[in-house]
Amino acid sequence: MDKQELMISVEFFPPKTEEGMAKLREARTQLARLNPKFFSVTFGAGGSTRDRTLDTVLDIQAAGFEAAPHISCISSSKQEIRDLLQLYQQHDIKRLVALRGDIPSGEVSAGDFRYANELVGFIRQETGDHFHIEVAAYPEFHPEAASPAADLANFKRKVDAGANSAITQYFYNPDAYFYFRDECTRLGMDMPIVPGIMPIYNITQLARFSSVCGAEIPRWLRLRLQDYGDDLASLRALGLDVVTGVCEKLLAGGAPGLHFYTLNQSGIITTLAERLGLKTA
């Protein structure tokens, strides 16, 4: 595939302060040079960042870019989701990243939805084809999945409910993506599945993220990263080499694009893009 045709997208989280918003704008300016198809903005559990998510999305749109808010359904009623969809329509938002969200602990209500496919179906019921709906995919399987087959069946339910394309959880084993993609094709799911790419900033942070989402850090990589200790320069140099190699294999194997998890930073991703020949402006 021509690199000009790749589906490049970038993920931010909504800043808590004006200073954080200023830093995000700086990162967005740098990453806009990749000509991303859209910038996505995360959404806190139970809608806890709803206003900040919308503010961030509108700021991105005002700068002339397409923005896609995440929308999660756990702990939400149908009316709350309906109101949110109407709000997004009023602001001419055309793309959503539809997720289940984290299951609440304790006595908090799970809301009217249990699974992301129910949310996707509800969005279609309420808004027709207004939104392009992205959903999550897990090449190394969702940590709560009973089996790989059950996880694939769950993904297919989201596709059948009306999803247009998918973004994967990050991973460092390209074969996991290719096996997942081929299984989806075998099951008749003909839609773009874009690999999620997480640069390696530090091992503590990466280990924490991975323990929650089920992404595997290969043993050799984990031990090498741990061995660097506080030597962040060496750690990030190795991480950059590893992630560059992963992206090269993915693109050579026909991945339709790359979705970058930025943590609201641009430096490592800009360097990665230069290595991959993605920088266009």
Which residues participate in catalysis according to the annotation?
Answer: 11
| Cα 93–Cα 95–Cα 96 angle in degrees, nearest 5 | 105
- d(CA 188, CA 146) in angstroms, rounded, equals 22
- Give the contacts of 205 (CB within 8 A, at least 6 positions apart): none
- H-only helix segments in 137-278: 148-161, 174-186, 203-213, 219-228, 232-252, 267-276
Alpha carbons within 13 angstroms on the beta-carbon side of residue 281 total 9
Chain centroid to Cα 201, Å, comes to 17
Which of 183-187's residues contact partners 24+ apart within 8 Å by CB, and which partners? 183/152, 184/152, 184/155, 184/156, 187/152, 187/156
Contact 75, 68 (CB under 8 A): no
Which of 147-152's residues contact partners 24+ apart within 8 Å by CB, and which partners? 152/180, 152/183, 152/184, 152/187
Give the type of residue at 78: K
Contact 106, 130 (CB under 8 A): no
Residues across the chain: 281
**What is the DSSP secondary structure assignment for residue 46, as one 8-state letter?**
G
Contact 137, 193 (CB under 8 A): yes
